[in-house]
Amino acid sequence: MQKYKGVYAALMTPFHADGSVNYAALVELAKHNIDAGLTGLYVGGSTGEGFLLTEEERIEVFRVIGKALAGRCNLFAHVGAISTDSAIRMAKAAEEFGFDAVSAVAPFYYAFPLEAIKAYYADIMQSTGLPMIMYNFPNAGGFHDMTKVVEALYDSGKLLGIKHTSQNLFELQQFKQFSRDLVVFNGYDEMLVAGLSMGADGGIGSTYNIMPHWILEIYDRFTKGDIRGAQAAQERVNAVIARILPYGVFQMEKEILNQLGLPVGECRRPFLPLSDAGKQTAKEIAEELKKGV
């Protein structure tokens, strides 16, 4: 499983002005990220507006990305859904299109009991030959017991790891207690160096789309033992993230990419259009990123 260590862009899903998925821009953005040196892509998750796409669109996104990049980089497909059957259909598609692993957020809305959530993961894991990355995102899904799910399933041989999008870095470290072989990905980009310090093997994030080189610098310096350098690189990244957060992370990242010449359009409703102040800030950030300052 250790070949999956590294830094992955949570790939954004570009849209045309009429709201349809822009598959050509999707491939362009994906290649841009991989050419920058990132390890791979996490496709169809929060950043990819996965829950604002239909199941058919999510599968088509996997098909297009698999065709363009399978075998060239590591590809993870987020197949999480509140319906197990829907998640399984997407997992089978991801396998067919050459993805390396599937990932899923815990099913939400109905406050399913722990046993139901364990069964959801076990069912998805049994449905294909692909390994699973649990997507632990308690702030969004409301499920706070992922350690218990991992405890129940880590020795199935099909659990690759965990994408840990939580400020609770004690929990991140505890996942490694079940097995050193589990690959743990840090999910909040603004805490990457902290996550790595607590044992994460890499990261998956949305801001990697706009500043892949700076994220790589954090990771490379950290893995070489240059902790001060990694902190300095994190500070540079966080200066950008701090200006993005007040206006909406995904709307801002999309506008920055538009400004950088990657036409990704806007986010789908009910995300609101970016405010004028947000647009101005996005433009300024894009100028800075172009200069590499």
CB 46, min distance to ligand MN9, A: 4
Residues 49, 189, 217, 255: which binds ligand MN9 (CB under 6 A)? 189
CB 279, min distance to ligand MN9, A: 19
Is 33 a residue that touches ligand MN9 (CB under 6 A)?
no
**Residue number with CB closer to ligand MN9 (102 or 241):** 241
Is 205 a residue that touches ligand MN9 (CB under 6 A)?
yes
- Tell me the three-class secondary structure of the chain, residue by residue: CHHHCEEEEEECCCECCCCCECHHHHHHHHHHHHHCCCCEEEECCCCCCHHHCCHHHHHHHHHHHHHHHECCEEEEEECCCCCHHHHHHHHHHHHHCCCCEEEEECCCCCCCCHHHHHHHHHHHHHHCCCCEEEEECHHHHCCCCHHHHHHHHHHHCCEEEEEECCCCHHHHHHHHHHCCCCEEEECCHHHHHHHHHCCCCEEEECHHHCCHHHHHHHHHHHHCCCHHHHHHHHHHHHHHHHHHHHHCHHHHHHHHHHHCCCCCCCCCCCCCCCCHHHHHHHHHHHHHHHHCC
Q: Which of 267, 188, 190, 200 is CA-nearest to residue 231?
A: 190
**Residue number with CB closer to ligand MN9 (10 or 218):** 10
Residues 187, 212, 248, 278: which binds ligand MN9 (CB under 6 A)? 187
| Residue window 45-84: x/- pattern of binding to ligand MN9, with contact defined by CB under 6 A | -xx-------------------------------------
Is 188 a residue that touches ligand MN9 (CB under 6 A)?
yes
Which range in 33-41, 60-68, 201-209, 278-286 contacts ligand MN9 by CB under 6 A? Answer: 201-209
Which range in 30-38, 68-76, 149-157, 188-196 contacts ligand MN9 by CB under 6 A? Answer: 188-196
**Residue number with CB closer to ligand MN9 (241 or 257):** 241
CB 208, min distance to ligand MN9, A: 7
Is 10 a residue that touches ligand MN9 (CB under 6 A)?
yes
Which range in 89-97, 186-194, 220-228, 284-292 contacts ligand MN9 by CB under 6 A? Answer: 186-194
The residue type of 111 is A
**Residue number with CB closer to ligand MN9 (206 or 259):** 206
Gyration radius of the chain over CA positions: 18
Angle at 17 between CA 13 and CA 18, to 5 degrees: 100
Catalytic residues: 135, 163
Determine if the peptide bond prior to 212 is cis (ω within 30°). no
**Residue number with CB closer to ligand MN9 (22 or 103):** 103
As a whole number of angstroms, the distance between CA 164 and CA 65 comes to: 24
Which range in 69-77, 200-208, 215-223, 227-235 contacts ligand MN9 by CB under 6 A? Answer: 200-208
Is 207 a residue that touches ligand MN9 (CB under 6 A)?
yes
How many residues bind ligand MN9 (CB under 6 A)? The answer is 14
For ligand MN9, the binding residues (CB under 6 A) are: 10, 46-47, 165, 187-190, 204-207, 241, 249
